[in-house]
Structure 1
Amino acid sequence: MSQVLMARQPIFDRKLNVVAYELLYRSDDQLNVANVVDGHHATSNVLVNAYTSIIENQEPKKLPAFLNLPREMFETDSLPAMARKQLVIEVLEDVEVDQTLLDAVKRYREAGYNIALDDFVYRPEYIPLLKLAHIVKLDVLALGMEGIRASVEQLKPYRITLLAEKVETYAQLQECIELGFKLFQGYFLHRPEIVAGRRLESNEAVLLQILAELNAKEPDTARIAKLIEQDPALTYRLLKIVNSASLALKRQVNDIHEAMIILGLSEIQKWISLLALSGQKTKPTELTRQILTVARLSELIAERSPESQIAPSTAFLCGVLDRLDALLDIDREQLLEQIAVSDEIKLAIRERSGPLGELAGQVQALCEGDWEALTCDSPELYQQCQIEALAWTNDTMALIEPA
């Protein structure tokens, strides 16, 4: 049976709010891609919704999906049966511009869909497409900033929204904003804005000390309780979460020691990780979403893969720490030196070595849609775990985000 794997890449506005997701996919055939947006397949809307639903300010929200369609989709008379405002149709850069394509794009536009031109490079034959497009995506990595500036000048006569893709740094982001871009994609979120000499703040250090102690071979529960109690806000928030209806506990919890007994160390580790992430307000919420999804996905795969020898709690912690440097704006090596986690986790993060490093690399490839690097033997398992991880992230964001 042919298989579709999906990943999502956020699209930001100028304030770094996520306003849409581009859906990346790997399929064994182009017809399978059509099934993703074909309303006759009951699973298509469920699948797309799983990848475009988020929690924002404790409220559920469904974002538009950018989806590039193969040539075959433009040659048919069928239109996707999804809500028009929920789908942006991308025309790939290597598609032949002929009357068949132009008629199809016009048909989509007249039906109410937004049209985006992917990896656009200006050529005269693309002028008819530009007149139909709503959004033009320019590749910063491929064009360079000089090429970007030239392309912006060429596109000024057209009524389009500019989207900068493959933005790698915050400096590139700022320059694109100055050039008039309104939408942005790229890995600039994954990299810390390193401040020379920065050390962890006291509350950050306490949280990481707790995580390290929880990850020890023989955790010292008394020390963990004392560390938690050093931070009154953390104590309050943890007790509030443990007492929440969503955990369905049969009795109220009155202190940290009780919480640790009832939940167990593995669950305490998870919630401390989440609270560490939710306390960071200098970065867009999307980075927290990404880290939570990676952590939960790693945990689920470690738990369900028959051949896995990795403790699910270790996989979860590795997923949290893998991009924590970007969230805390601190050099990765400096971060790893300041926390006492196992060599297994450090090697997995630094070098992608060992079984844990291999798992971390596969999870990264899946989440980023790097299909060439994805070599897993169980794509169905990975996809199911990813959908569950996305849903869990939404539930968790609703619980840990401030109202």
Structure 2
Amino acid sequence: MHAEVPAVKTTPSDEFFLARQPILGRDQNLFAYELLFRAAGEHEDANITDSAAATAAVISHASQLGMAQVVGEQLAFVNVDEFVLMSDFVRFLPPHQVILEILETVTPTPRLLARVVELKQLGFKFALDDVVAFSPEIDSLVALVDIIKVDIQGVARADLSSLTCALRRPQKKLLAEKVETQEEFNLCLELGFDYFQGYHFARPHMLSGRKIAPSDVAILALLDLLKSQADDRTIETAVKRDALVSLNLLRLVNSRAARPGQRIDSLAQALQLLGRRQLQRWLQILLYTAPGATVELKSPLLQMASTRGKLLELMSLKVTPNDPAAADTAFTVGIMSLTEAMLSVPMHDILENVDVATEVRAALIDRTGTFGQMLRVAEVLENAVSGRPLSAALKKLGLTVKEIRDIEFAAFEWVQELSCEVH
């Protein structure tokens, strides 16, 4: 896998960053990403997410980088207003991989409806954004779109069921957006929603008296062995004690090293080929695998954690290019930052089971220190919040908005490559 930060052509207005918001299916696996561009720094008051400039930026970067680098095999939802819908540059987007999301500010005039029909004939699919009530005005758009997005935070709980019934049509899918808790997800699941958008999957759902599972303890113990520079035989013996770790390790090495007529069945050979640095990273990724299961990179939590890890590693290499040890530490901070949500155990309890450096603990618990600052940057990028916190955090790290955007694209690409390798 290569992690070089790609060169991205500078646009006239280059002070913006990309946020990818996961969209899940009923199985809670990734279905798509909504791509959002946000103005940063001094331009933040001009929120370009809802403008033609934002979509132009999406199209420009998609054509330069390839949509696969940004969203992989998933679909991409891209916001469009009336200006974008009526423009020619929307046709530069790949119809097979893009859902054009019609913003709630769009008025369904006969001219606009005719344009939607024209684009549908070219293969484009559509979603209707931010529906909070049914009206005859939106009915004409509902008839043409493929997916209807309901903002569940804008609808009273008592009215959500009736709105869902009013919007349901044959061949139409319903998407619940701004789903922030497990309870909200369960309610929308019961109401028959097909897709879900929001960060409920990344919110810690603490269970009273919950202990870390034996398989997780085994992985944490292996990480400790690697940190203490244990010899190869000790590490091999420890890996063999856990069948799940052994099987997933062999699966990874075979996906990377397989050649015609060659298969690696020896754990010792696998460990030699993988190397300690990659073994450590693979074990950290395995923390996001349910007990008894194999690694599934369609898990939005695992994708987010892997992306955070690579983001922080690349940030560290940019800030201190001659310190690979710091880059490894940064990767650890990023990927471990979501274990609380995966294990349903407080971060303090997780860190009691693994010996981490003081700066790692400070970053994970308090978001302090250089690595904590990097983690804050990753969290701002994920949530597409105001650009001011991003600019302030980047200034402390000595990074520019363009540099972090290039780093972000490189991290997306790395996760996509990793996802291909384990399937």
Structure 2 SS opposite 1:277: coil
User: How far apart are the structure 1 equivalents of 2:163 and 2:382?
Assistant: 30
- In structure 2, the residue matched to 1:303 is 317
Residue segments in structure 1 that go unaligned for 5+ positions in a row: 54-61
Distance 1:42 1:163 in 2: 26
8 Å CA contact retained: 1:79, 1:108: no
Counterpart of 1:56?
Answer: none
Instruction: Give unpaired runs (5+ residues) of structure 2.
Output: 1-11
Give 1:241 deviation, angstroms. Answer: 4.9
Note the 1:9-158 alignment, pairs <5 A.
Answer: 9-26=21-38, 30=51, 32-36=53-57, 38=59, 44=63, 46-53=65-72, 62-77=73-88, 79-122=90-133, 123-156=135-168
Q: State the distance in 2 between where 1:52 and 1:155 align.
A: 29
Q: CA RMSD in A?
A: 3.5
Letter in 1 for 2:385: D
Identity among equivalent positions (%) equals 27
Partner of residue 348, structure 2:
333
- Which residue of structure 2 lines up, in the alignment, with residue 374 of structure 1? 390
Structure 1: distance between partners of 2:24 and 2:110: 33
User: Superposed, which structure 2 residues align to 1:203-282 within 5 Å?
Assistant: 203-215=215-227, 219-222=228-231, 227-231=238-242, 234-235=245-246, 237-238=248-249, 241=252, 246=257, 259=271, 265-278=276-289, 280=291, 281=293
1:360-399 aligned at under 5 Å gives the runs 360-372=375-387, 373-375=389-391, 376=394, 377-399=399-421
Residue 315 of structure 1 deviates from its aligned partner by 0.8
Q: Which region of structure 1 is more displaced relative to structure 2, 171-180 or 95-104? A: 95-104
Please give the alpha-carbon distance, in whole angstroms, between the structure 2 residues aligned to 1:396 and 1:157: 38
Change in 2 beyond 3 A, CA 1:110/1:201: same
Which residue of 306, 312, 329 maps to 1:314?
329
SS of the residue corresponding to residue 23 of structure 1 reads strand
Structure 1 position 6, deviation (Å): 2.3
Letter in 2 for 1:51: V
Task: Give the deviation of 1:331 after TM superposition.
Answer: 3.3
Q: CA deviation at 1:187?
A: 1.0
Change (3 A) 1:97 1:277: same
Cα shift at 1:32: 4.1
The letter of the residue matching 2:350 is L
Alpha-carbon distance change, 384 to 253 in structure 1, aligned in 2, over 3 angstroms: farther
SS in structure 2 of the partner of residue 340 of structure 1: coil
8 Å Cα contact 1:35-1:44 kept in structure 2: no
Letter in 1 for 2:76: A
Aligned to 1:59: none
Letter in 1 for 2:119: Y
Distance 1:313 1:278 in 2: 21
Q: Which stretch of the first structure deviates more once superposed, 282-291 or 167-176?
A: 282-291
Structure 2 counterpart of 1:384, which letter? D
Matched, 1:195 2:207: yes
Determine the structure 2 residue equivalent to 1:292.
306
1:201-254 Cα deviation digits (max 9, x unpaired): 222112113324545xxx242465664454355356546756875499xxx997
Q: Is the 8 A contact 1:37 1:45 kept in 2?
A: no
In 2, Cα distance between equivalents of 1:79 and 1:236 = 46
Partner of 1:160: 172
Kept in 2, the 8 Å contact 1:253–1:259? The answer is: no
2:223 and 2:386 map into 1 onto residues whose CA distance is 32
- Measure the CA separation in 2 of the matches of 1:80 and 1:363: 32
Output the amino acid matched with 1:85. H
Q: Which residue of 349, 356, 371 corresponds with 2:371?
A: 356
The 2-side partners of 1:353 and 1:396 are apart by 29
- Secondary structure, aligned partner of 1:167: coil
Output one character per residue of 1:140-184: Cα deviation in whole Å (capped at 9) or x when no partner.
233243342242243246863211011122322222122121111
Question: 353-362 vs 18-27, which deviates more?
Answer: 18-27
For residues 185 and 242 of structure 2, the distance between their equivalents in structure 1, rounded to whole angstroms, comes to: 36
Partner Cα distance (1:156, 1:240) in 2: 43
SS at match of 2:99: strand
Of stretches 176-185 and 377-386 in structure 1, the one that deviates more from structure 2 is 377-386
Q: TM-score, normalised by structure 1?
A: 0.81
2:306 maps to a residue whose letter is L
Structure 1 residues 147 and 247: alpha-carbon distance in aligned structure 2, compared to 1, 3 A threshold = same
Q: Which structure has more RCO (C-alpha within 8 Å, separation ≥ 6)?
A: 2
Maintained 8 Å contact 2:127/2:149:
yes
